[in-house]
Amino acid sequence: MATKQDTGQRGERLARTYLEERDYTIVATNWHCAHGEIDIVARAGDIWVFVEVRTRRAVTTAAALESIGSSKQRRMIAAAQLYLEAHQLDANWRMDVIAVALPPSGLPVVEHYEDALGW
C-alpha cells in the first residue's frame, strides 16, 4: 500500500518528466522556505515557473485541483516571492499547477494549468 508521501513523490516525478518533455528546464525541486515548499522551480524561456503539484489516487484530477484553496494560493505566491528574493532575481514569473490522478488501473492523468493564480 502506497503512503501519502509515496503518492506525492510519484506525482512530482511525473510532473518533472511532463515539464522536461515540453522543454522546461528544471532548476530546483522541493525548495523550502518559511511559507512552505515549492514543488518545482522551472524555466520556460525567460519566464520562471513555480509549480505546485497535486496528486490524488483517483480517476480524474478534480480532487487534486479542489485541494488548492485561497490560503494555499497565498502561501504559494509568498513562497515564489521569497525564492525570487533569495536568488536576487528580478524576472518574469508565473505560478502553474500540475494535477496528477493515479487511477486504480490504467495510465496516470497529468493536467497542466499555466498561470493558475486567481482561480
Q: Convert the pLDDT of each residue in 20-73 to its tens digit.
A: 999 999 999 999 998 889 999 999 999 999 999 999 999 999 988 888 888 888
Q: Residue 109 and residue 102: Cα distance in Å, rounded?
A: 7
The whole model's pTM is what?
0.93
β-bridge partners, 43:
25, 48
Q: Residue 90 and residue 52: Cα distance in Å, rounded?
A: 21
How much of the chain is in helix, strand and coil states, percent to nearest 5? Answer: 35, 35, 30
Phi, psi of 69 (to 5 degrees): -90, -175
Q: Where exactly are the structural domains of the chain?
A: 4-113
Q: How confident is the model at residue 1, as a pLDDT?
A: 65
83 pLDDT band, cuts 50/70/90, is very high
* Domain at 4-113: CATH code: 3.40.1350.10
- In the predicted model, is pLDDT for residue 118 greater than 80? no
Average pLDDT over residues 71-89: 94
Going by C-alpha positions, the residue among 18, 42, 47, 21 that lies closest to residue 30 is 42
Percent of the chain at pLDDT > 90 equals 77
